[in-house]
Amino acid sequence: MRNATARALLAEIEAYLVRTGATPTKLGLAAVNDGHLVANLRKGHSITLKTADKVRAYLSRAGRSPQGRHPEPGLHAVSHAEIAGAAGGGRAAHRGIDRRIDGRIDGRIDRCVDWRIVLVIGGGIAAYKCLDLIRRLRERLAVEVLTVMTRAAQEFVTPLSVGALSNAPVSTELFDLDAEREIGHIRLARDTDLVVVAPATADLIARMAGGHADDLATSLLLATDRPVLVAPAMNPHMWLAPATRRNVALLAADGIHFVGPETGEMAERGEAGPGRLAEVPQIVDAIEDLLGLAGGAHAAEGPLAGRHVLVTSGPTHEPIDPVRYIANRSSGKQGAAIAAEARRLGARVTLVTGPVSAAPPAGVDAVEVETAVEMLGAVRAALPADIAVFAAAVADWRVAHAAPQKLKKREAAREAPRLELVENPDILKTVAGLPPGERPPLVVGFAAETESVVDNARAKRKAKGADWIVANDVSPATGVMGGDRNTVHLVTPEGVESWPELDKAEVARRLFERAAYWLAVNTASA
Ligand SMILES: Cc1cc2nc3c(=O)[nH]c(=O)nc-3n(C[C@H](O)[C@H](O)[C@H](O)COP(=O)(O)O)c2cc1C
């Protein structure tokens, strides 16, 4: 049976032959018998890594020779016709070759040439959902899905079902003699466009965060230099456990992408909270985003296609000295949910975020800042935008002169240092007050209040010149700051809509339902 290396190499050779007009027997691979090599590859034979590397080195050298028409054969764009025609319809799999989307039907990607995903399946109750994920990935994106199952995953779904749906080999063992003749775990890690972990158990997340490599899944995750998308699924107590929080934060800081988890009912009776695997279409969306396909697929479809949405989120940190700062309890969850919703509706999204622990949603351009002054700078740089939503809890004041060194406690003086505060720039008011053309057509502010919520929001809307204000009660008893739910009032020139307590994602959905409609009625798309 042809191995992945052979398939990849054949695609490169076929593309090379098409490009140069050479025939297989005249390939000129001094060290190997060219004609036989190509014939055998076409028949589906395997090849060793060593031979493949030798051939690649030759192709690379030949491509740089005066006869070569392309300077970087491994990197040049190969059309679908070239690959499909020359390779008898086989899909090129070498990661260096430019990928093409073959066609679209109704804005949907019809077929992606040449993408490969490695799906790592963890041992959780949601493992059965990976079958639907594989089916959708193959149907919607036509990507090749190679699967790796942990030992625990095989307790929940069988490699047979996974292999039948993926129509590709399922890897389960690190110490696999056949695969490891070609250092299979490294090949799996590298010869792919994206690694997806779904469902990601608490255990797998912990082992990833700890840099473990004690099975095939963790070895390839440690070895990969490709983007990694993690879809966690576990009991809410496991998800909220300090150890899991730390592990997720570590992985996010390492650049690992997350999708979900969702909040809701768990498989265990009577259990509810955050920890449900993200819905399969949401995982597919995140995969598309990471593969850079969403710009085509969603943007072509969504009501905000062609629009730019700017969102601010999270707290700001205003330094007192190099180690201390003034902050607030904002978690950035509402802003992130708004950014994700705008992205889902097809917008290009810039999320300017203060320091938060959660990773930004997939597919948004995240700009990380610390202070209010930095946030204003990032907002200005991100303009123009069609909609600007200011959900960040920006500090009203900053310390006038942050100390260059850590402030010392002076026992003798028995006097606490006095901090002189100065007002921070008002980002909402600044942007809402920009002249037409520079001002986003729809400017939405958030008002975090602890009393007279609606009255204060009405006054704020006028004082700041915002179009809409989303007012929420952030008194400690409400649990809004840092929580997953929110009770808001939408204050517009037309009046006040009071919504019931909702998930922050649902608040985002309702807000953007109205925002997309407003934009469609009041402005023309670019
Ligand atoms: C019935 C059952 C369901 C489980 N569901 C989950 C789950 O949804 N999420 C999770 O993190 N662990 C779950 N576990 C625990 C994992 O299976 C266990 O931590 C295992 O070591 C994970 O291995 P892996 O990370 O290598 O896949 C479950 C265990 C059992 C027995």
What residues have CB less than 8 Å from 180, skipping those under 6 apart?
none
Q: Which of 262, 289, 316 is the last residue of a domain?
A: 289
Q: What is the CATH number of the domain that holds 354?
A: 3.40.50.10300
Q: Which residue, 65, 98, 131, sits at the end of a domain?
A: 98
Position 297 in a domain? no
Residue 409 resides in a domain? no
Question: What is the C-alpha separation between 446 and 467, in angstroms, rounded?
Answer: 11
Are 278 and 384 in a shared domain? no
DSSP 107: T
Give the per-residue pLDDT at 518. 92
> In this predicted structure, what is the pLDDT of residue 13?
72
Question: Ligand 1 pocket check: which of 120, 121, 125, 147 to mutate, most ligand atoms within 8 Å of Cβ?
Answer: 125
Report whether residue 204 contacts ligand 1, using a CB cutoff of 6 Å: yes
Residue 356 lies in a domain: yes
Strands 442-449 and 468-473: parallel
Is residue 328 flagged as an active site residue?
A: yes
- Among 203, 218, 230, 262, which is best to mutate for testing ligand 1, by the most ligand atoms less than 8 A from CB? 203
pLDDT tens profile 463-520: 999 999 999 887 777 767 767 888 899 999 999 999 998 889 899 999 999 999 899 8
448 and 493 co-located in one domain: yes
Question: Which is the closest atom of ligand 1 to the Cα of 122?
Answer: 27
CATH of the domain at 193: 3.40.50.1950
Residue 163 and residue 119 share a domain: yes
Distance 126 CA to ligand 1 centre (A): 9
Mark whether 92 and 201 lie in a shared domain: no
Average pLDDT over residues 17-23: 61
The first and second tokens of residue 462, run together, are 């006028």
Cα-Cα-Cα-Cα dihedral sign, residues 3, 7, 9, 14: positive
Mark which of 98, 125, 152 sits at the end of a domain. Answer: 98
**Closest residue (by CA) to atom 17 of ligand 1?**
123
Cα–Cα distance between 306 and 480 in angstroms, integer?
A: 33
Q: What is the number of residues in the chain?
A: 526
- Residue 278 in this model has a pLDDT that exceeds 80: yes
Same domain, 468 and 350: yes
Decide: 122 in ligand 1 pocket, CB within 6 A.
yes
Query: What pLDDT band is residue 98 in, cutting at 50, 70 and 90?
Result: very low
Same domain, 518 and 428: yes
The answer to whether position 19 is within a domain reads yes
Do 380 and 330 have their domain in common? Answer: yes
Tokens of 220: 């390839």
Q: How far is the CA of 5 from the centre of ligand 1 (A)?
A: 33
Domain count, the chain: 3
Backbone angles phi, psi at 114, to 5 degrees: 85, 10
* 122 and 247 housed in the same domain: yes
Given 3, 235, 247, 328, the catalytic residue: 328
> Using a 6 Å cutoff on CB, does residue 233 contact ligand 1?
yes
pTM: 0.49
Ligand 1: centre distance to CA 202 (Å) = 8
Please check whether residues 321 and 427 belong to one and the same domain: yes
Q: What is the largest CA-CA distance in the chain?
A: 90
pLDDT at 176: 72
Q: Both 393 and 505 in a single domain?
A: yes
**Domain, as residue range, for 271:** 105-289
Do 48 and 109 lie in one domain? The reply is no
Distance CA(382)–CA(226), nearest Å, equals 28
Q: Are strands 365-368 and 100-105 parallel, antiparallel or unpaired?
A: unpaired
Greatest mean pLDDT among 97-106, 167-176, 299-308, 487-496 lies in: 487-496
Identify the pLDDT of residue 70.
32
**Domain membership flag for residue 410:** no
Q: Tens of pLDDT along 394-431?
A: 999 999 999 999 998 876 667 788 899 999 999 999 99
Given the structure tokens 């993690």, which residue do they identify? 230
Residues 279 and 353 in one domain: no
For residues 334 and 504, what is the distance between their CA atoms, to the nearest angstrom?
Answer: 5
User: Atom 3 of ligand 1 has which residue's CA nearest to it?
Assistant: 125
* pLDDT value at 203 more than 80: yes
**Ligand 1: which residue has its CA nearest to atom 25?**
204
Q: Which residue minimizes the CA distance to atom 4 of ligand 1?
A: 124
Within a domain: 322:
yes
Spacing, Cα 125 to ligand 1 middle (Å): 7
Instruction: Evaluate whether residue 166 is within a structural domain.
Output: yes
For residue 406, tell me if it sits in a domain: no
